[in-house]
Structure 1
Amino acid sequence: MDKLELKHIAPYLPYGLKVQYIHTGEVGIIRNLVDIDDYYTIKIGIDYKDSEHIWMFKPILRPLSSLKNDIVIDGLKFNPFLRLYNLFLIEVSENLEVEVNMNNIMEGYCVVTQLISWHFDVFGLIDRGLAVESTKLED
């Protein structure tokens, strides 16, 4: 059984990762990593409530398939696909793949880091049922 792990959410934490509680549907923002309890379960501080176990929520992420759709971050509306091209002057294929090899590994890392800061699902969590698609919540 696939499960959400700290390695899946840690890269998003500096960027105000929103999460949705599995049982209530309530949305909050991860504020900190609180503890690892006696059973080695990660506990997360969401908003300013008591800490919760990692399995109690799903991160809210944008699917990579929406990379060509305009998004709004901090009041600024832009097209992430075009922004990536302008920021890194790299070619992104029509199917949203960036070819990474030893010659351009730094550019690949920068692209992934930028996608994470915009809350795109770079780990395939939505398809595995471990994350909520942000566009589904905006309906």
Structure 2
Amino acid sequence: MKLELKHLAPYLPYGLNLKINTPFGATDRKFEIDCGHDFNLHLSECNIKPILRPLSDLTKEIEVNGEKFVPYEMLNYKPTIKHVADYPFSFIDLQYISYYSFDCLLEWHFDVFGLIENGLAIDINTLKE
């Protein structure tokens, strides 16, 4: 598995943070995404990794935009999330959650594509403040 635009695009409306290592060193500057045909090649050349939360954080208190909450409790109030309780939090069968819930996971930067375990994203919990 390699990081592709299809893995990053769903997060972009929510201000995704990235770690970028170029041949010239690490950078934290903002860049404009050119989604041309060679974009996936640039992803691998520059070693771009999104900073995401593992699904195991669903039951932990997180902070998003200055607000602290437990994501599962927020989603649990939605009747369409009822099947999620039947699955361990290291794996969620995304066919059982609503579009609203999936969109919330993207907004809160949860790793819904398994990128962390494949070494293609950085676990936010491993970063130093």
Given the two structures, how large is their TM-score scaled by the length of structure 1? Answer: 0.73
Residue 64 of structure 1, CA deviation = 0.4
**Count of equivalent residues:** 119
User: Structure 1 or 2: larger helix share?
Assistant: 2
Any residues of structure 2 matched to 1:1-139 within 5 Å, and which?
2-22=1-21, 24-27=25-28, 32-36=32-36, 40-42=37-39, 53-55=42-44, 56=46, 57-86=48-77, 88-89=78-79, 90-91=81-82, 92-93=84-85, 95-96=88-89, 97=92, 100=95, 107-138=97-128
Opposite residue 60 of structure 2, the aligned amino acid is: N
Structure 1 stretches (4+) deviating beyond 6 angstroms? none
Contact 1:5–1:54 (CA under 8 A) maintained in structure 2: yes
Q: CA RMSD in A?
A: 2.3
Moved more, 14-23 or 4-13: 14-23
Residue 128 of structure 1, CA deviation = 0.8
The change in CA–CA distance for 1:134 and 1:26 in structure 2 (over 3 A counts) is farther
Residue 25 of structure 1, CA deviation = 4.7
Residue 108 of structure 1, CA deviation = 2.3
Given the two structures, how large is their TM-score scaled by the length of structure 2? Answer: 0.78
The separation in 2 between residues aligned to 1:20 and 1:63, in whole angstroms, is: 16
Residue 35 of structure 1, CA deviation = 4.4
In structure 1, list runs of 5 or more residues that go unmatched: 44-52, 102-106
Residue 99 of structure 1, CA deviation = 7.1
Residue 67 of structure 1, CA deviation = 1.0
The change in CA–CA distance for 1:98 and 1:111 in structure 2 (over 3 A counts) is farther
